[in-house]
Amino acid sequence: MSVRETNALEDRAGSARSAVSTRAAFSRRTRAESAISLDPGDTGCHSSRTAFIRPSAESRPAQLPPYAAPLTSVCGPPGEVRRDDSVTNPDASSGRPRTGHPDVLVFLTDQQRWDTTGTHGNPHGLTPVLDRLAARGLDVDRSFTCQPVCAPSRAALQTGRYPTDTGVFRNALPLPPGTRTLAHHFGAAGYETGYIGKWHLAGDEHTGPVPEELRGGYDHWLAANLLEFTSDAYQTTLYDRDGAPHTYDGYRADALGEAALEWIRRERERPSFLFLSFLEPHHQNSRDDYPAPHGYRERYADPWTPSDLTALGGGNAPEHLAGYYGMVRRLDEVLGRIVDALDERGTLDETVILFTSDHGCHFKTRNDEYKRSVHDASVRVPTVLHGPGFHGAGRLPELVSHVDLPPTLLDAAGLPVPARMQGRSLLPLLRGGAEPPWPEEVLIQVSESEVGRALRTGRWKYGAVAPGADPWHDASAGHYTDAYLYDLHADPDELTNLVGEPALADVLDGLRARLADRIAASGEPRPLIGPAAGQRGH
């Protein structure tokens, strides 16, 4: 048996064992209020209080979740995507007719690079469940955050609006009370709405509990504003809608996953919208480490290194990739438990599932931290949609922004897309065409490290910065100068900055105009954009 086959078997067995241990831990805690002593290697998690979701005492024998099959059994070699022709009719998928609006579930990870997935060529088999969902549903090949830092990107995912439009253009700024979010739109349509995990939209003065007016309109709540400061890898504290703490032992991603399973297993008469937000695979801020589950770092002790990190050198990828990959692997196992639970209930193909991440990670190769740059390592993220409207959709080549995802979810649920949203639903693309034509670029805003704006097209990455602007206090600027120009066809790792090349002067002029147009369309004043002082070629 090959090393890869052995690892695949270990991964599947570990996923099944972990699924049972988490359910058993919650079940035991429900029956007896005494503390549970867990072995340091145990992946089970339990709560010291009863959360807003009633714990389930259900337990079943360990078995391989049906969607945790090896990627090669569904999709072929890594990087190849084929449709699963057995899932083409959403009305016949569960053996009973669909009625009303579908359930909707968002599975958000933190700081996950696009190339951690098998569909994008990662050779470690980290994401077999996600890869299968991508093969059965829609794999958004080129998906980008509109702001590569936590709070702004999360504001965009809640509202379908650019960070400067929401007012959350950097971390430490709260989403203004009264801002219409997905929770408001789904709730108004009769959905039961819930939020579990990391929020990061209540400013920095609220670490754990979040005041009701800053919760974005969610009915049910089990979260922490700054989860990285209320938890460690094996100790997690979340807060309910009354501000009461719920402390979980076991691995952090497992704790959030078990809370989601309790939500899924609840009997309800209304459709549900759940936003499940993980901290993994973000580093642990208190010690700049990537704490994988016990034994998982060792699995990837000789990690595959993406070509941009190899070419750039420096940074800390050699130190942290193994732990990072271990965290990604565990997230996929949690996803497998959720998919398994939906399948057992007969609702998997009647549930719209969105998987995405808030931003990527360049491992300190572009600046002195992990993100806040316009490079693809920082802004490109994995995005998969599965469920009604997405069955057998294949791989989408268009460039997609975070602001396009909230309109897509509402559209997939049969709900109107508010005119206030600045993104567009992807579903018209899958139905045969979009009018007006889909944009050929995405806009990226950068704060904290610089006041910057960038345009990412199929071929070019063009970035501009505002000289003299304060990246912590200035949301935008009236004047930007050239900073980056990469030919992504010839230089996909963005190693050679072509700003100032005389032969590309016309290309640069065109990109400046397009960037200014997109900035204005996002709600900012149209800026002046020109060459930097002393720039060659002008």
Q: Look at residue 29 in the predicted model and tell me its pLDDT.
A: 31
- Report the greatest alpha carbon distance in the chain: 75
Q: Is 482 helix (H, G, I), strand (E, B) or coil?
A: strand
What size, in residues, is the chain?
538
Q: Look at residue 373 in the predicted model and tell me its pLDDT.
A: 86
How far is the CA of 154 from the CAs of 118, 240, 295, in angstroms?
25, 20, 31
For residue 96, is pLDDT > 80?
Answer: no
Please report where in the chains the tokens 């994988």 appear, as a residue: 292
> Contact, 482 vs 534, CB < 8 A?
no
Query: Which of 59-73, 94-108, 221-235, 236-250 is least confident?
Result: 59-73
> Contact, 530 vs 512, CB < 8 A?
yes
List residues bridging with 139 in a β-sheet: 384, 395
The arithmetic mean of pLDDT across residues 188-209, rounded, is 96
DSSP code string of 377-416:
HHHEEEEEEESTTTTT-EEEEEEEEGGGHHHHHHHHTT-P
Q: Look at residue 219 in the predicted model and tell me its pLDDT.
A: 97
> Contact, 277 vs 195, CB < 8 A?
yes
> Contact, 129 vs 355, CB < 8 A?
no
> Contact, 201 vs 182, CB < 8 A?
no
Q: Look at residue 286 in the predicted model and tell me its pLDDT.
A: 76
The alpha helices in 434-499, defined as continuous H runs, are none
The arithmetic mean of pLDDT across residues 117-143, rounded, is 98
Angstrom distance (rounded) from CA 468 to CA 474:
10
The arithmetic mean of pLDDT across residues 74-82, rounded, is 30
- Residue burial 452-490, b: 16+ Cβ < 10 Å; e: rest: bbbbbeeebbbbbbbeebebeeebbbeebbbbbbbbeee
pLDDT tens sequence across 150-161: 999 999 999 999
> Contact, 120 vs 376, CB < 8 A?
no
For residue 142, is pLDDT > 50?
Answer: yes
The arithmetic mean of pLDDT across residues 192-214, rounded, is 96
What domains are there in the chain, each with its CATH number? Answer: 103-430 (3.40.720.10), 450-530 (3.30.1120.10)
For residue 45, is pLDDT > 50?
Answer: no
Q: Look at residue 98 in the predicted model and tell me its pLDDT.
A: 41
For residue 137, is pLDDT > 90?
Answer: yes
pLDDT tens sequence across 319-368: 889 999 999 999 999 999 999 999 999 999 999 999 999 999 878 777 56
Angstrom distance (rounded) from CA 57 to CA 42:
19
Q: Write out the two tokens for 505.
A: 């002067």
pLDDT tens sequence across 268-305: 999 999 999 999 998 787 788 889 999 999 999 999 99
According to DSSP, the β-strands at 220-224 and 235-240 are antiparallel
For residue 90, is pLDDT > 80?
Answer: no
Closest to 194 (Cα-Cα) out of 204, 206, 182: 182
pLDDT tens sequence across 481-535: 999 999 999 999 999 999 999 999 999 999 999 999 999 999 999 999 999 987 7
Q: Look at residue 152 in the predicted model and tell me its pLDDT.
A: 95
Please report where in the chains the tokens 């007016």 appear, as a residue: 213
The arithmetic mean of pLDDT across residues 146-152, rounded, is 94
Angstrom distance (rounded) from CA 97 to CA 248:
38
> Contact, 92 vs 388, CB < 8 A?
no
Q: Is 517 helix (H, G, I), strand (E, B) or coil?
A: helix
Angstrom distance (rounded) from CA 86 to CA 48:
43
Q: Look at residue 164 in the predicted model and tell me its pLDDT.
A: 97
Angstrom distance (rounded) from CA 172 to CA 150:
10
Q: Is 469 helix (H, G, I), strand (E, B) or coil?
A: coil
Angstrom distance (rounded) from CA 204 to CA 250:
27
The arithmetic mean of pLDDT across residues 75-87, rounded, is 29
For residue 251, is pLDDT > 80?
Answer: yes
pLDDT tens sequence across 441-452: 999 999 988 999
What is the number of H-type helices and E-type strands within the chain?
15, 16
Torsion of CA 248, 253, 254, 258, to 10 degrees: 80
Q: Cβ-count burial of 502 within 10 angstroms (0-12 exposed, 13-18 middle, 19+ buried)?
A: exposed
Contact residues for 57 (Cβ-Cβ < 8 A; gap 6+): 27, 30, 31
Angstrom distance (rounded) from CA 34 to CA 444:
50
Angstrom distance (rounded) from CA 66 to CA 388:
20
pLDDT tens sequence across 19-39: 433 333 333 232 222 222 222
Q: Look at residue 371 in the predicted model and tell me its pLDDT.
A: 63
What's phi and psi for 330, nearest 5 deg? -65, -40
Q: What is the residue-averaged pLDDT of the chain?
A: 83
Neighbours of 305 (CB within 10 A): 13
Residue type (1 letter), 16:
A
> Contact, 114 vs 360, CB < 8 A?
yes
pLDDT tens sequence across 56-73: 333 222 333 333 333 222
What's phi and psi for 452, nearest 5 deg? -130, 160
